[in-house]
Amino acid sequence: MGLSFLTEQISTAVGHLNYNFLSELRIRRGQPVIVEYCGEYKYLGAAGIVNTSAAAVIAGDVTEILNRAMSGCVYNYTEQMKYGFITVEHGVRIGIAGEYVTESGGVKTIKSITSLNIRIPHDVKGCAKFLFNSLYRERPYSTLIFSKPGLGKTTMLRDIARTFGAGKSVNVLVFDERGEIAAMDGYGDGFDLGNVDIVRSYNKLSAIGGAIRAMKPQIIITDELYGAEDIKAAEYAADCGICIIASSHITDKQILSKMPFEYFVKLNKIGGKAEIYDKNFSAYCDSSAYNVAGNTIDFG
C-alpha cells in the first residue's frame, strides 16, 4: 500500500478505507487527521470516516512520521526538501509545512515541521484512452494536460506513458522529476510503464538536453511545467522535433497558449469530463465524445 511509515494508530484507521478512493492525508500536529476520500475531504476516525472532528484520530508528532518515511536517512532527501516535499516508496509524495530556512534566495531546509500533506498515486489503466482515440489515432501530438492540483494529471501521464510503451516503434522518455509518474523506489520497483526510458532529475532544462542526446527519444513525457526554465525545457525539446506530453498547474489560457503545444487538455474533476483545445484554444472535443474503439498506438 505504500504507507508503512504511518503511526500505528493512523495506519489502523486508514486500513478501514478503500485504498482506491483515498487520494490524500492531511496530518497536522495535534489536530484531527483529514483525508481526501472519494474526492471529498473527510475526518478520519479509528474505524474509518467519521462526521465530526471530535470523533477523529488526533495526529501526534508529525516529525516521527516524516523520519519513518525517510527511514531515518534525512541526507538522502535534502535536495527534495528544498522544494517543500519528498517522494518516498511507491511514489507517495509528502508535502511539508514548517519553518523554511532560506539561503541565497532559495530554501535550504525545513525545520520545526507542523504538518504533512501525503498524496497517494493511483494507477488507473485506460484513463487516457480518450486521448488515443481522439488525438493520437494517426500520430502523437505535443499535448499539455492542465488543471488545478489533485485532479489526476500525473495519473493520466502514467497511463499515456504505459500505452505508448506497449508499442515497439516509438522511443519514449519519461522525465520523472518527482519520482511520481513511474513511482520508482531505490530498488527500481514501481508502476510498470512498459518499454520506456526513465530519467530523474531536479532540473528539467539541463537534464532534458542531456537525455535527448543520450537516449534519442521521439516522445518525452514529463510532469508539472511551471517556471520559466521548465517552459524553456519544453521549447528546447520541441525545437529538436520531439513530441512532448506534459502537465501543468497553470490554468491561464493566455500563458498556456504561448507554450509549444499543439493541443491542451483541461481536467475539471477526478473522473469527470475532460475538455480538449487546439493550439489556438478553440474547442476540439471533450472526453464524452470520443470513439471507444481500440487505440492506435503503433506508428511504425
Q: Which residues pair with 96 in a beta bridge?
A: 116
For domain 129-286, the question of CATH label 3.40.250.10 is answered with no
Nearest C-alpha neighbor of 245 from the set 226, 218, 278 = 218
Separation between Cα atoms, residue 27 and residue 29, nearest integer Å: 7
Residues 247 and 144 sit within 8 Å (Cβ to Cβ):
yes
Q: Which pLDDT score, from 0 to 100, does residue 296 have?
A: 36
Q: Which of 145, 139, 85, 155 is nearest to 116 (CA)?
A: 85
Rounded (10°) angle between helices 228-239 and 204-215: 20
Write out pLDDT tens, residues 80-90: 888 888 988 88
What's the pTM? Answer: 0.83
Nearest alpha-carbon partner for 281 in 260, 258, 257, 261: 257
Q: Write out the CATH class of domain 8-119.
A: alpha beta
Query: Mind listing the pLDDT tens digit for each residue in 24-34?
Result: 999 999 999 99
pLDDT of residue 279: 93
CB-facing half-sphere around the CA of 113: CA atoms within 13 A: 21
Residue 67 scores a pLDDT above 90: yes
Q: Taking CA 198 as the corner, what is the angle to CA 193 and CA 200, rounded to the nearest 5 degrees?
A: 130
Query: How many whole angstroms separate alpha carbon 88 and alpha carbon 186?
Result: 9
pLDDT of residue 300: 37
**Residues comprising the chain, all counted:** 300
Question: Looking at 50-54, 101-105, 276-280, which range is the least confident one?
Answer: 101-105
Tens-place pLDDT, residues 124-161: 999 999 999 999 988 999 999 999 888 889 999 999 99
**pLDDT higher than threshold 50 for residue 292:** no
259, 228 Cβ separation under 8 angstroms: no
Cell of 284: 476540439
Q: Is the pLDDT of residue 299 over 70?
A: no
Calculate mean pLDDT across residues 66-73.
91
Structural domain boundaries in the chain: 8-119, 129-286
Cβ atoms 247, 157 nearer than 8 A: yes
Q: What is the pLDDT of residue 203?
A: 79
* Mean of pLDDT values over 193-200: 91
Q: What is the pLDDT of residue 294?
A: 37
pLDDT recorded at residue 187? 43
- Judged against a pLDDT cut of 50, whether residue 225 lies above it is answered with yes
